[in-house]
Structures are given as structure tokens and as C-alpha cells.
Structure 1
Amino acid sequence: MESGAQIGEIIDMCKPIRDAANSGADAGTPQFMKAWAEMGDKLLDLAAEDEAKGRAFSASDKLERASLYLFIAERMQGHGAPGRKETFAKAREAFERSAKLGRINRERVEIPLAAGTMPALFTRAPGSETTPAPCVVYCNGLDSNKELLYWSRLPEALARRGISTLCVDQPGSGEALRLQGLPVDPHSESWASKAIDWLEQQSEVDPKAIGMTGISLGGHFAPRAVAYEPRFASGAVWGANHNWREVQDKRMAREGENPVPHYWAHVHWAFGAEGQEDFLEKSKDMNLNGHMDRIAVPFLVTHGANDRQISPAYADDLYDQLVNSPRREKVIFTAREGGVEHVGADNMAYGRDVIADWFAETLGGHTA
């Protein structure tokens, strides 16, 4: 719903698979794929009918939802599941077609890395073609992709405030993982610095006003990058993943909730690990303790009070360690406003507004 789904379509997709879901988190995923992909295919057909009649905007709207449902269907499957690769390709094609037909303010770009590339979506602030605008690098969590970042509507909120956005499929996520096999790099400055290199070459971007944020596991990547890449002028997190390595110990003890089915197989794949021991070794640096005192720019910490995946206590840890930030703020979303669940799964509006306003205030955008 937060990403643009229609409630009636969600009901139609989920009604026939409710019983399968009762058999456990992993048991119903093939049925989930079938139901959600069928809705995606139906919307693709309806979009084609609109396009044949010259109704490009209507076709684009349907392609957006088709792409969303197909991405979600793919995301919920285990690594190597039948149909996963084809579903991802179909979702990407629909997303690209939608942008063209709908004249949507997003451009797919490729950012060179030391190995491979980092696919990204560039959303330009109005007027940036004549006056360079601030820009925010926006990174994925563990199991999202740049398209889902775009659908969080943070790029839209930032553009309204005069700020461009670069949504990235960093190593270990989205296309970088699925099509290039690039695993997670805990030292996020290695790829975040390449994003700045690219942005500095864009005439629409003010190179002195580049910020970074991340959602979910991006709550590790963004602070780490801001700590070690001095060209970032501001930072924020949508969920404080301060010590994700410790969270894995808790998950092995069955504490808290997992973000996706087939969780351990997914993290092994994302980290390029050959098993649990290898994964634990490769994820040992997913811990921000001892690094946050390097941040010397404004930094915002946001977290949901009822986050059942990542404890709000990690938001306290992150905030407390920002001892050299000239402006640090912590916002814990409560039942009063909503957004209490993990990265605002119950209501993303408040997190989106707070983060967009933060960057407007610290990078030189506007809030009115």
C-alpha cells in the first residue's frame, strides 16, 4: 500500500493463499509468487490495452503496480527458486516502460565501481538544470531494491523541497546482487564514494551539498559511509541498524522477527557466503561501534518505537556515539503519529517527511 498498491488487488492476491501462510513463513512462498505474478501479468495486459488506445498515463499507472507486484513476488522467494530470475526481469521491464510512458522523473544510470557497476535511479529537483541542487544518495536495506526506494516516495518529497535523489542498488542488493553477483560490502564508503564521484560530474548537482540516507540495513551503510567519506555534508537513517552483526546472534536464538522468508539462505547469498560460519565471518564488520565519532556533519537518527526487527535501543547507541556531529537529532516514532514498526511499515509518511525536512534544512533545500 505504501508503495502504490491497491487494496482490492492485495485482497484478491492474498485471499487464496491465506491457508498456505498458516503453514509457516517459508511454506507458502511458491503460492505467493503465483498469486502476485498473476496479478502483475493481468496488469501488464491491461496496460497494453491502454497503450494501444494512446492512453499512456493510464498504461503507466498499471505498469507501476504490475512492476511492484512482480518485484514483491520475486523478493519473497528463496535464492534459486523457479521463476525468480524471469519475474525480476519482467518487473524491471515494466518499471522502465512505465517511466517512459508516464514521463516520470527518474532516470536509470550506471555508476562504475572497482568491480562492476552500481545501477541507480536519478530523480532531479525542479530547476536543477539551470541552478545546481543538493542531492541525497539513498541506499537499500538487506532485501530491497532501488525501485522500492523510489516507491517509498522519499525522492518525491525531496524533489518538492528542491533536492535531487540517487537511489542505488549497492552491492548485495537489487540488480547488483541478482545480475552481477556483487555481494554486500560492510565498508559502504567503498561504493558510496563512487556515487559521489558520479554526482560531482553532473551539472545539475551542487557537489558541496550531497547527503546520504538508507533504509533498514541502510541504517548501517549510511552512517558508515558518512563517517568515512568526508564529502558527505549531512546524513540520516530510516531505522538505526547500529550493530547488525549482534542482531544475527539474536536471530539465531530466535529473538525478533526476520525480514524475509528463507532468511538464512538469503543472507548467505547476499554476503557471498558458503555457509553459516562463512557468513558470520563476512558480516563481522556490520557493527558501527567505534566508528561514529568520525561523523562531523549533521546527522539524523529515526526509528520506530515498536520495531520488532531492530531494537530501538540501537537508535540510542547510534545517537549517543555521534559525539562530533555539530547537529545530531533523534526521532522515535510513537503511536501518536504512527510509523512505529520497522522503517514505518505501518505508516511511512512521518519518516518520509522528517527525513526530507532534515535534508532541506541541512543541505540548503526549502521546507515551504
Structure 2
Amino acid sequence: MKQLLFEDDPQFWFETLRLFGQAAYGGADFGEVLAAASTVTAGDYDSWHDAYRGLADRLYAEAADAGPVTARDLLLRASTYYFSAGFFLHGDPADPRIAAAYDRSVECFRRAGVAEPVEIPYEGTVLRGYLYRASGDGPKPVLIMHSGFDGSAEELHFMGAAAGVERGYHVLTFDGPGQPGAIRHEKLVFRPDWEHVVTPVVDHVLGLDGVDPARIALLGVSLGGVLAPRAAAFERRLAAVVAVDGVYDAGAAVTGLLPWDRAEIVRRARAEHDEEFDALLLAGRQASSTLRWACDHGRYAMGAATDREFVAKYLEYTLEDGVAEKITCPTLVCEAADDLFFGGAAETEPRRLYAHLKAPKTLLTFTAEEGADAHCHVGALRLAAGRIYDWLDRTL
């Protein structure tokens, strides 16, 4: 999609488009986002925080005197804007604005009352999320949803959970290790063996009333496009898996920027010292707004002390060595025609994943003509939800 704002900062533009897109399910209003964005200076993380924190605070205050439906709508939008306010601040994990914005985001979402908060037992602690119950009698299919590198369980309401309830699905969303709720409350950083995260979630789903155990599907968003297929390769109780968008090797987003082959990058990233690598990453973050943000957030979410350590950890998120081939359930691989993070190569990451699958598989490409070519189709969430759930209907 043509970049309409922040001409020299594709990361700020993508996050603005992401906010625009959430208007489809009540997570934003176009004019509110446009007004806030007009006060932001490209590349200035403080100005981004102040713009969206100020917007969220205004809606939060207005909700106090509003009627029930109006308050719900105000709180849902405030939740989105509070989360966005803290989005670029993770380069300094001690920044008190991070927790303040995130905690208020969760408060607003829970007060809106659109889903039931849940706690899922996980390795001596819990994973936090939400249960959405479809109306009607009889056992229902269930879609388990998780986000990826930087999204939250609350955001998933606008990225498919609300759409699922409309279509007769129970939906369970959750934050796994490395995702906001797990970092904030349990200090759990990302792990690549995501089957160990999803299996206890499936256990939890099977303990719920009104669930059809033969129709449990899993959907992962963004980095979830490698995490969910990874889980499906080992968790055989899943009847289908959806990758939005598909990722075969997450490290390709970094390795394509460096002058060595993958094996050399792995070796150098894991070395105790490598001044040349460090210098390249420093130059890269100065030249690329996306790499700058990815390294800041990656250190925070993966528990890395340096940019190079983050790269070393990130390279572990892959379906190579026969993992993709182990998936047996039907798999939907979504592809964005102009993906900021996983596009641009001769063979895109969704197509690499699709090529390695041995299970029944479908590739679904979203295009610029549809307004849906951005990463995870953030500009066309209703279009994407419709196609994904129609595939699930046919598959389940």
C-alpha cells in the first residue's frame, strides 16, 4: 500500500496503518488516528508516545461519564491507543511509561467487557488471555489465537476474535512467553519450541464446556506465522492451523541485510566478540527505522543484552530441518504482497513455508488492489477475517 504518512519512516507508517485498520472492529477511529499522527515527528519515539497517550487519556476520561455502549466503544479505542503509546519505548525496559501504558490498555479492554479474562496453567505459572463464547447450543469449533513478535492478546479482538464469535466459533486468545502479558507479569521471554506453549492451551480448551474436541484450530499472527506451524508440527490434537502470514525462517528478515550466508551469520552472532558484526548492526539500525525498532524490541522480548545476542536468538525461529514437513493437519498460509518484514525476496517466506508442507495446504495471497498487501493485512482486517473463517468453515 502506498505510504501516505511518514514518507521516510516505513516503521512509523506501518504502525499508523495498523491503527487505521483496527477501526474495522472498533479498535480505533480514522480521524482520531490521523489527528494524533499529525502531531508525531518521524523517528521520535517520545512524540509518538505523547500523541497516543494523550489521545487515550482523553477517551478514558470521557468514558467515565458515558452511557454503557458509548463507554464500551471509548474504552476499546483507548485500549488500542494506550498499547500503541508504549510500542516504541522498549529500548529502555526500565522506562516507567511502558508499564503505565500497557496496564491502562489492559484495564480499558477488560472494562469494555467484550470477553472473559482467563488464566491458563503453564509451567508453574499462568498465561493470560480471553475467552469468547459463541451463542447457541451444542458443541462449537474453537479457534485458539496468539500474536507474534509485538502484538497483544487484547489486540487480537480486532484481528479475528470478534469476527470468530460472529461466525459461531468459540475463540481463545492468549499471550505466550515473550508477549506483553507474559513479560509484564511473569518475566517470560520468547521461546522457539512453541509446542510447549500451545499444548497446555489445548489442554485448557478441552476442559471447557461446549467445545467440539475434533474442531480445534490454531491461528498465529506475524511471528506467530512461524510459531503456530511449529506448534502444529508436534501438537496433533489440532484440526487446522493458520499462519497470518506464513514464515518458514524468521531470521530471513535479518540475514537478507547482511553480507554473509546464514551459517556464517549464526556463527558470528553467537561469538563472544565480533566488532565487525556489531558495527554492521549499528549502521543498520541508523539506516533503517525498522531494524532500529526490531533490535530494541527484540532485546526486550527475547531477553537479550545486545543487538547481536538478539539476532542469535531470533535465528532459532525457523521451520527448517524437517519441522514444516511434520505438520499433518490442513494448513492455511496467508501472504501479503508487500510485506514490510518478510517480503522482497525472490521467494517470500509464506511461499517457502507452503513449498515445504506435506499436509493439505492452501496459499491465500492478499494484494494492493484489495488494500490488503501490508504485513498481516492490517489495512483490510474484515476482508482477511472473512476469507480465513470461510476456509476454516470448509476445513473443519
Q: TM-score w.r.t. structure 2 length?
A: 0.82
| Shift in alpha-carbon separation, 1:258–1:202, aligned structure 2, 3 A | farther
Question: Matches of 2:80 and 2:233 in 1, distance apart?
Answer: 33
Q: Secondary structure at the match of 2:38?
A: helix
Distance 1:360 1:158 in 2: 11
How far is the alpha carbon of 1:39 from its aligned partner? Answer: 1.2
Which letter does structure 2 place at the counterpart of 1:10?
A: V
The list of structure 1 runs, each at least 4 consecutive aligned residues, that deviate by more than 4 angstroms after superposition, is 251-261
Which amino acid in structure 1 is aligned with residue 147 of structure 2?
A: N
Matches within 5 A, 1:257-336: 262-289=293-320, 290-311=322-343, 313-323=348-358, 325=359, 327-336=360-369
CA distance in 1, matches of 2:288, 2:149: 14
Aligned partner of 1:29 among 45, 56, 62: 45
Shift of 1:301: 0.6
| SS of the residue 2:191 aligns to | coil
Report deviation, 1:111: 0.5
**Runs (5+) with no aligned partner, structure 1:** 364-368
RMSD (CA atoms): 2.0
Q: By how many angstroms is 1:284 displaced?
A: 3.4
Measure how far apart 1:260 and its partner are: 8.0
Give, in whole Å, the separation in 2 of the partners of 1:111 and 1:175: 12
State how many pairs are aligned.
342
CA displacement at 1:357 relative to structure 2: 1.1
* 1:314 Cα deviation after fit: 1.2
Amino acid at match of 2:309: D
2:380 counterpart residue number = 347
Secondary structure at the aligned position of 2:181 is classed as helix
Q: Which amino acid aligns with 1:116?
A: T
Superposed CA deviations along residues 119-174 of structure 1, whole A, max 9, x for unmatched, are 111111222xx31111111111100100111112x122222322111111011001
Residue segments in structure 2 that go unaligned for 5+ positions in a row = 1-19, 259-279
Change (3 A) 1:231 1:110: same
Would the aligned equivalents of 2:178 and 2:190 in 1 still touch at CA under 8 Å?
Answer: yes
Match of 1:140 among 111, 134, 147: 147
Which amino acid letter does the alignment assign opposite residue 245 of structure 1? G
Change over 3 Å in CA distance of 1:219–1:37 after alignment to 2: same
Match of 1:8 among 31, 37, 40: 31
2:184 alignment partner in structure 1: 178
SS in 2 for 1:222: helix
Q: Tell whether 2:392 aligns with 1:359.
A: yes
Contact 2:117 2:131 in 1 (8 A): yes
Query: Is the contact between residue 109 and residue 122 of structure 1 (CA under 8 Å) also seen in structure 2?
Result: yes
Q: Does the aligned pair in 1 maintain the 2:247–2:352 contact within 8 Å?
A: no
Give the deviation of 1:71 after TM superposition: 0.8
Aligned-pair CA distance for 1:115: 4.1
Q: Given residue 335 of structure 1, which amino acid in structure 2 is its aligned partner?
A: A
> Structure 1 263/336 Cα, relative in aligned 2: closer, same or farther at 3 Å?
closer
Match of residue 371 from structure 2:
338
* CA 338–61 in structure 1, closer or farther in 2 if over 3 Å, else same: same
Q: Does 1:122 align with 2:122?
A: no
Q: CA deviation at 1:342?
A: 0.7
Q: Letter of the aligned partner of 1:179 in structure 2?
A: H
Q: CA deviation at 1:37?
A: 0.8
3-state secondary structure, aligned to 1:262? helix
Quick one: distance in 2 between partners of 1:346 and 1:32?
20
TM norm structure 1: 0.88
Q: Which amino acid aligns with 2:47?
A: Q
1:292 Cα shift?
Answer: 1.1
Kept in 1: contact 2:177–2:189 (CA 8 A):
yes
Q: 1:143 to 1:35 in 2, by over 3 A?
A: same
Give the partner amino acid of 1:38.
Answer: G
Q: Secondary structure at the match of 1:267?
A: helix
Select which of 165, 169, 172 maps to 1:163.
169
CA deviation string 1:341-368 (max 9, x = no partner): 11112322332112111112222xxxxx
**d(CA) in 2 for partners of 1:38 and 1:189?**
39
Range moving further from structure 2, 273-282 or 224-233? 273-282
Identity of aligned residues (%): 28
- Report the alpha carbon displacement of residue 280 of structure 1 after superposing the two structures with TM: 3.5
Query: In structure 1, what is the Cα distance between the partners aligned to 2:201 and 2:296?
Result: 29
Paired position in structure 1 for 2:71: 59
**Matched letter for residue 70 of structure 1:** Y
CA distance in 2, matches of 1:84, 1:313: 34
Q: Distance in 1 between matches of 2:370 and 2:38?
A: 30
Q: What corresponds to 2:108 in structure 1? A: 94
